[in-house]
């Protein structure tokens, strides 16, 4: 991973990878050392770079899963490659598995770009062409990520957005968010039923992350969440644009991280008829040729030192 993909202020530093258009690390400067706001890239010398080991990666042109990689749009049926080891579904879109390019870079800003061209319907590729641009800005301690996606093809295309940040699970870490309902899932994380949050998943109660075990989507989300590390007196206010109004929380047991993922649509949205929902109800956008959609996420760090 190139070491020069760095932006920095007097109080914070972030690094990036062109593999997957990822945030590789994001930290504030505390007592002369780096205090990581996002889990830094987990380097394994014997393994090539994987966005799944990074601090965050973009979810374009859809988040989470598409059942068995199959969907129908505008009366055309498509089969996507199953892109996640032996998992039975296509997952997280395609941009996290592509090589991005640097469009612009300055001391505290970097802009990455991906021009995606499908190899055709039978290739297993996402079948629609698009251009994605990610703009990252550091201001003081705070990092903002903005994503813009343009339909560069000749036909309309379905589109979803999301971000997949990983946070360190430290002692007594707390997570708070206002999202009163949650999707129950089957064993492969496909949504089954939208229900009121049970007490152990009620994010509004400032849950202790070490007791939170889930890989579920919460909605409707008001675009604000808070991660608190009380032992270090550091709080992160996570916010997102209004079109990212669903929140996926992935909190696996026996791991040193958890994920809080702003997303625009429900999981398996392109097969929404199975839930009796219209495509619009799922949060998927339909982009006409040359039209674009944007979304953003911001980390605002409050540190008592």
Q: Where are the domains of the chain?
A: 6-303
> Which positions ≥6 away from 232 have C-beta within 8 Å?
35, 170
What are the tens digits of pLDDT across the range 175-223?
999 999 999 999 999 999 999 999 999 999 999 999 999 999 999 999 9
Question: Which are the contacts of 33, defined by CB distance < 8 A and separation ≥ 6?
Answer: none
Nearest to 67 by CA among 57, 77, 59: 77
Each residue of 154-177: pLDDT tens digit? 999 999 999 999 999 999 999 999
Is the per-residue pLDDT at 46 higher than 70?
Answer: no
Q: Do 269 and 220 form a contact (C-beta atoms < 8 A)?
A: no
Task: For residue range 255-277, list pLDDT tens digits in order.
Answer: 999 999 999 999 999 998 777 88
Local confidence band at 122 (pLDDT 50, 70, 90 cut-offs): confident
- Give CA–CA dist 4/22, Å, rounded: 14
- The CATH architecture of the domain made up of 6-303 is Distorted Sandwich (2.70)
Sheet of strand 22-30: strand arrangement: 6-8, 12-17, 22-30, 33-38
Helix, strand, coil percentages for the chain (3-state, nearest 5): 10, 50, 40
State pLDDT tens for residues 59-73.
Answer: 999 999 999 999 999
Report the predicted TM-score, pTM, of the whole model to 2 decimal places.
0.96
Q: Is the pLDDT of residue 1 over 60?
A: no
Helix or strand holding residue 279 (H, E): helix 279-282
**What is the SS3 assignment for 234?**
strand
Q: What does residue 53 show for φ and ψ, rounded to 5 degrees?
A: -105, 5
Question: Rounded to a whole number, what is the distance in angstroms from the first to the last CA of the chain?
Answer: 32
Pairwise CA distance, residues 30 & 45, whole Å: 28
């Amino acid at each position: 991973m190139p070491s020069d993909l760095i932006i920095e202020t007097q109080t914070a530093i972030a690094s990036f990878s062109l593999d997957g258009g990822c945030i590789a690390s994001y930290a504030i400067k505390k007592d002369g050392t780096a205090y990581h706001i996002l889990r830094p890239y987990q380097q394994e010398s014997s393994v090539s770079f994987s966005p799944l080991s990074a601090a965050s990666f973009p979810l374009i042109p859809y988040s989470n899963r598409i059942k068995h990689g199959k969907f129908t749009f505008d009366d055309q049926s498509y089969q996507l490659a199953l892109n996640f080891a032996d998992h039975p579904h296509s997952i997280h879109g395609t941009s996290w598995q592509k090589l991005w390019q640097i469009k612009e870079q300055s001391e505290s800003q970097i802009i990455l770009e991906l021009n995606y061209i499908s190899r055709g319907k039978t290739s297993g590729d996402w079948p629609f062409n698009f251009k994605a641009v990610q703009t990252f800005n550091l201001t003081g301690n705070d990092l903002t990520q903005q994503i813009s996606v343009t339909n560069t093809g000749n036909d309309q295309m379905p589109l979803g957005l999301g971000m997949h940040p990983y946070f360190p699970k430290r002692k007594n870490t707390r997570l708070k968010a206002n999202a009163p309902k949650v999707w129950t899932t089957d064993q492969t994380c496909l949504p089954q039923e939208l229900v009121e949050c049970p007490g152990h998943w009620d994010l509004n109660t400032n849950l202790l992350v070490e007791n939170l075990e889930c890989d579920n989507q919460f909605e409707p989300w008001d675009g604000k969440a808070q991660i608190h590390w009380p032992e270090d007196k550091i709080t992160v206010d996570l916010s997102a644009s209004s079109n990212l109004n669903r929140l996926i929380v992935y909190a696996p047991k026996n791991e040193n991280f958890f994920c809080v993922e702003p997303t625009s649509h429900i999981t398996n949205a392109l097969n929404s008829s199975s839930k009796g929902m219209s495509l619009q109800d799922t949060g998927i956008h339909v982009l006409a040729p040359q039209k674009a959609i944007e979304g953003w996420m911001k980390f605002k760090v409050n540190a008592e030192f």
